Amino acid sequence: MMPRPILNQHSMEICLPHIISSVCVPGCSFGGRFYSLEDTWHPDLGEPFGVMHCVQCHCEPQKSRRGHCCKTCPKKQTDSVLDSFEYFHEKGKEKVDDLHKSYNDRSYLSSEEVGPGESRTDFVAVLTGVTDSWLPSSNGVARARFSLTRTSMAFSITYLRMDRPSKITFLDSDGTTAFEFRIPTGQSDMICGVWKNLAKPLIRQLQSEQLRISMTTSTSRQEEVEGKIIKHRALFAETFSSTLTSEEENSGMGGIAMLTLSDTENNLHFILILQEPVVVPIRVQLVYRQHVLREIRANVTSHDPDFAEVLTDLNSRELFWLSRGQLEIAVATEDQDPQHISGFITGRKSCDTIQSVMSSGDALTPGKTGGVGSGVFYLHDNGTLDYQVQVAGLTSDFLGLTIELKPRRRNKRSVLYDLTPEYNKATGQAQGSWSRLEARHIHMLLQNELFINVATAHNQEGELRGQIKALLYNGLEAPRYELPVPLAGHFVSPPVRTGASGHAWVSVNKQCHLQYEIVVAGLSKADDLTVNAHLHGLAEIGEIDDSSTTHKRLLTGFYGSQAQGVLKDISVELLQHLDQGTAFIQVSTKTNPRGEIRGRVHVPNNCEFGTRGGMEEAEFDDLFVKDPEELKNDPHTCFFENQHHAHGSRWTPNYDKCFSCSCQKRTVICDPVICPVLTCSRTIQPEDKCCPIYIFLLTVLSNLVSSVSFLLGCYFEGDQKMHAPGTTWHPFVPPFGYIKCAVCTCKGSSGEVHCEKVTCPVLTCSHPIRRNPSDCCKECPEEEKTPAGLEHTDMMQADGPRHCKFGKNYYQNSDNWHPWVPLVGEMKCINCWCDVSIVAANV
């Protein structure tokens, strides 16, 4: 394909009055998505191409007047998230050393909660009553925990002694609102949310602890609590926590305690963070039912508001009370006007989901059975652990289901809890509660140090095994509290004997958009512990029927062990299959391109008319100014053929109907239309169209339009045009131009666009050639010699010296030139050369 003259996306400022009141967000729009300034990403061209991992796009500020996309390949990421913490990095290496090579708990050693090339940073905030606000000070205290991954920040907030808040506001270093989050109504004391697309300047402020967070209520007694967002070394190790409040009215006092147990001894480490640090001595007590068990005295100053200490050698009673959430930590000042705050210690709370995928590839003796196990867990404040587990595709009779530690010796499994009595062989499920968790077990659970194992008659040490670990909250509405869809090679048609397995949460929202989240396990090589070696594959959704008429949609291509997203343009047929339980999700890999693991999906919905629009779901591109008068004053508008065109718009120019033009920040880019090859002989060339169509199709369209007034055809986002039902075309994908390796068709019955890759014929020759640089498929050259009067059209197949055709010109072998582009002229920044019938280009 001829190099495009411009491969850039420009920065802009988008105002979102319905999302953030009077807040304008600078950034770039690309492919219907918004990116913050300085962001980089791999463009997702959608079905059937997926993510182009060897093309990287950048969003640059307006002062440079251009952004750009460059060809690149991502470097292999081997740094673990542990590397940021020297103590825990050394601790992790010890765990590698004491693990016998024959054991295969390798998932314990990786950081699969983050993808390749990503890092995760945790932050915390203590929110207390505002004393200098016009609102009355609040009794409330809230604790907020944040996890920043790339440009998205998930947050989990718990609160005490206040009504449920209605709004969360993030404030930048100037005190200006950077982001607002409207809290949905509910009964829970947990608030979950995600702030997406943080701009790089805000991320820098976050890293330097310059951002603040505020929460307000909308009840008759309006309350506000606020606090500073900080990084803290204790967040990584925290397994127990406490929120400290005061019994005094409108005191504005509060704090949090982050606690963890020692790895080998019964020592309880804790750090206190006080919102309003005092400069007097304090007394810290460990209390059980108003009885003081331990007491520590220390000084806390405004320069060092943290207080860290260790309570050594907790006895069995203290550990028992800790596991049941019955221990209390109390802090009091020792001055003339003593102030007291206190709170109960419980297991760490968050919006993350504790879950596990069990696979034969992660068994103590790795195998490839095609089976799957899936589990979801919930830890209560009183130390009770609820569990839901499902198992499928076992190769022999079920023997046992257990929660275990990592084995220290060969054939010496450390079983903590036996779930076998609750297992129902008829359903393959186990549901129940484990009410006897010790404090040490809670600590290990929240440190991702527990495993779940399935034993069978042929694999008594374990056929399936998985690590129990937290899955980071991502803001999707998928019901994580329910058992997910199990994904296994056992469900693929025909079945696949694989060591991989997975599970997926799937839901359909009010707009009939599909939200999905997929987790896979067991795809690592035996000796490979790197994070990005688990999967490079595709996830798709379709109906169970494997006939040629199957409706199938690509969900995503992804690296790592997780994938999530939203699919908006779903066909009515596929929604019906989801409603009837005859749909599937399938993950394919290079080893098994027809499906590595698969699972049946049943999502009841009321979407018989397909997806629905809504302003709350509007894309950024839908918010651009379209009014003709306002277009004249818009600095991003293009003026072309005596007309103003909005930035991002696309149209057919008057000078040639076989060109398609677009406006990119006052720059007009025109591409020649590439018509698909029609296979039938009866075609006609409409006067107002560039490409010919079938004669019988033209007749059908005329009849349909006259009888059904509302049948308009299909709208394709790439070229931003309506296409008549039944027509076919090569898709236009900005900024890459027309893609000849795919053909799109407008389905007249549903108004949907279906795009498929062009299937190239099987060639028998040893040296196939590409006749034209923009051709998708190669052909076999004609081996006959070229006569003296050979026409130009046959020069590429001649046996003599070969030539290259580029555009309308022919070039000799080794020639080089600058390409000429209509309306732009000669592209002197692009060099093309002819090398044995292959046109190459350098930018």
Q: Which amino acid is at 89?
A: H
- Max distance between CA atoms of the chain, in angstroms, equals 111
Burial class (CB in 10 A: 0-12, 13-18, 19+), 291: exposed
Quick check: 465 pLDDT over 60? yes
Quick check: 521 pLDDT over 70? yes
For residue 575, count other CB atoms closer than 10 A to its CB.
Answer: 23
Q: What is the mean pLDDT of residues 563-586?
A: 84
* Per-residue pLDDT band at 729 (split at 50, 70, 90): confident
pLDDT per residue as tens digits for the range 818-842: 777 654 567 777 778 787 545 555 5
Report the C-alpha gap between 591 and 533 in whole angstroms: 13
* Residue 780 token pair: 């076999």
Considering only CA atoms, which of 193, 201, 143, 139 is closest in space to residue 166? Answer: 193
For residue 21, count other CB atoms closer than 10 A to its CB.
Answer: 10
Quick check: 179 pLDDT over 80? yes
Quick check: 705 pLDDT over 60? no
Of the ranges 301-310, 466-475, 618-627, the best mean pLDDT one: 466-475
- The whole-model pTM stands at 0.64
More confident residue, 738 or 699: 738
Report the C-alpha gap between 334 and 500 in whole angstroms: 59
Report the C-alpha gap between 512 and 570 in whole angstroms: 8
Residue 596 near residue 494, CB atoms below 8 Å:
no
Q: Which residue shows structure tokens 């504790």?
A: 354
Quick check: 535 pLDDT over 80? no
Burial class (CB in 10 A: 0-12, 13-18, 19+), 728: buried
Report the C-alpha gap between 273 and 123 in whole angstroms: 13
Residue 403 near residue 499, CB atoms below 8 Å:
no
3-state secondary structure of 836: coil
Length of the chain in terms of residues written: 843
* Per-residue pLDDT band at 71 (split at 50, 70, 90): low
Residue 700 near residue 711, CB atoms below 8 Å:
no
* Cα-based torsion angle of the residue sequence 26, 30, 35, 41 in order, rounded to the nearest 10 degrees: -140
More confident residue, 64 or 118: 118
For residue 316, count other CB atoms closer than 10 A to its CB.
Answer: 10
Q: Can you give the pLDDT at residue 789?
A: 39
Residue 494, preceding peptide bond in cis (omega within 30° of 0): yes
Considering only CA atoms, which of 654, 662, 687, 659 is closest in space to residue 675? Answer: 659
Q: Can you give the pLDDT at residue 540?
A: 65
Listed in sequence order, the DSSP H helices in 654-763 are 695-707
Q: Can you give the pLDDT at residue 63?
A: 47
Quick check: 628 pLDDT over 70? no
Give the lowest-confidence range in 63-77, 724-738, 754-768. Answer: 63-77
Residue 786 near residue 800, CB atoms below 8 Å:
yes
Q: Can you give the pLDDT at residue 786?
A: 38
Q: Can you give the pLDDT at residue 450?
A: 97
* Per-residue pLDDT band at 758 (split at 50, 70, 90): confident
Q: Can you give the pLDDT at residue 445?
A: 97
Q: What is the mean pLDDT of residues 157-162?
A: 94
Report the C-alpha gap between 703 and 689 in whole angstroms: 19
Q: Can you give the pLDDT at residue 134?
A: 57
Considering only CA atoms, which of 240, 238, 225 is closest in space to residue 191? Answer: 225
Residue 120 Cα distances to 114, 521, 710, angstroms: 7, 21, 50
* Per-residue pLDDT band at 779 (split at 50, 70, 90): confident
CA 497, distance to chain mean position in Å, is 28
Q: Can you give the pLDDT at residue 552?
A: 65
DSSP single-letter state for residue 691? S
CA 452, distance to chain mean position in Å, is 26
Report the C-alpha gap between 165 and 428 in whole angstroms: 42
Burial class (CB in 10 A: 0-12, 13-18, 19+), 296: middle
Report the C-alpha gap between 327 and 382 in whole angstroms: 11
Report the C-alpha gap between 625 and 644 in whole angstroms: 12
Residue 510 Cα distances to 507, 516, 542, 614, 616, angstroms: 10, 15, 21, 10, 11
Quick check: 105 pLDDT over 60? no
* Residue 303 token pair: 């320069």
3-state secondary structure of 346: strand
Mean pLDDT, the chain, integer: 76
Report the C-alpha gap between 804 and 770 in whole angstroms: 10
Q: Can you give the pLDDT at residue 808?
A: 62
Q: Can you give the pLDDT at residue 62?
A: 58
For residue 306, count other CB atoms closer than 10 A to its CB.
Answer: 15
The residues, ordered by sequence, that sit 6+ positions from 78 with a Cβ below 8 Å of its Cβ are 530, 531
* Per-residue pLDDT band at 736 (split at 50, 70, 90): low
Report the C-alpha gap between 781 and 776 in whole angstroms: 16
Q: Can you give the pLDDT at residue 637?
A: 84
Of the ranges 154-163, 787-796, 811-820, the best mean pLDDT one: 154-163
DSSP single-letter state for residue 314? -
Angle formed at CA 241 by CA 239 and CA 245, multiple of 5 degrees: 175
The proportion of the chain whose per-residue pLDDT surpasses 90, expressed as a percent, equals: 35
Straight-line distance from the first to the last Cα atom of the chain, in angstroms, rounded to the nearest whole number: 14
* Residue 531 token pair: 């994070």
More confident residue, 607 or 329: 329
Q: Can you give the pLDDT at residue 302?
A: 60
Report the C-alpha gap between 554 and 547 in whole angstroms: 17
Q: Can you give the pLDDT at residue 365?
A: 92
Q: Which residue shows structure tokens 């925290």?
A: 238
Q: Which helix (H) or strand (E) holds 578?
A: helix 572-580
Q: Can you give the pLDDT at residue 233?
A: 82
Of the ranges 69-83, 631-645, 705-719, the best mean pLDDT one: 631-645
Residue 840 near residue 829, CB atoms below 8 Å:
no
Give the lowest-confidence range in 16-30, 89-103, 585-599. Answer: 89-103
* Per-residue pLDDT band at 703 (split at 50, 70, 90): very low
Helices vs strands, H then E, count in the chain: 7, 61
Quick check: 755 pLDDT over 60? yes
DSSP single-letter state for residue 779? B
The residues, ordered by sequence, that sit 6+ positions from 71 with a Cβ below 8 Å of its Cβ are 54, 55, 56
Q: Can you give the pLDDT at residue 191?
A: 94
Considering only CA atoms, which of 114, 43, 117, 42 is closest in space to residue 75? Answer: 117
Of the ranges 93-102, 565-574, 787-796, 810-819, the best mean pLDDT one: 565-574
3-state secondary structure of 179: strand
Quick check: 85 pLDDT over 50? no
Of the ranges 247-256, 499-508, 585-594, 788-797, the best mean pLDDT one: 499-508
Q: Can you say whether the dihedral through the CA atoms of 233, 239, 240, 243 is positive or negative?
A: positive
* Per-residue pLDDT band at 797 (split at 50, 70, 90): very low
Compute the radius of gyration of the chain from its Cα atoms. 31
Q: What is the 3-state secondary structure (H, E, C) of 637-678?
A: CEEECCEEECCCCEECCCCCCCEEEEEECCEEEEEECCCCCC
Give the lowest-confidence range in 193-202, 308-317, 405-414, 783-792. Answer: 783-792
Quick check: 4 pLDDT over 60? no
Of the ranges 353-362, 667-676, 729-738, the best mean pLDDT one: 353-362
Q: Can you give the pLDDT at residue 798?
A: 33
Report the C-alpha gap between 200 and 33 in whole angstroms: 17
Q: What is the mean pLDDT of residues 264-272?
A: 93
Quick check: 539 pLDDT over 50? yes
Quick check: 688 pLDDT over 80? no
Give the lowest-confidence range in 92-106, 561-575, 576-590, 608-622. Answer: 92-106
Q: Can you give the pLDDT at residue 460?
A: 93
DSSP single-letter state for residue 201? H
Give the lowest-confidence range in 210-214, 379-383, 420-424, 701-705. Answer: 701-705
DSSP single-letter state for residue 781? P
Q: Can you give the pLDDT at residue 338?
A: 82
Report the C-alpha gap between 482 and 376 in whole angstroms: 8
Q: Which amino acid is at 466?
A: G
Q: Which residue shows structure tokens 């999906």?
A: 601
Q: Can you give the pLDDT at residue 655?
A: 73
Q: What is the mean pLDDT of residues 92-112?
A: 34
Considering only CA atoms, which of 130, 322, 299, 337 is closest in space to residue 228? Answer: 130
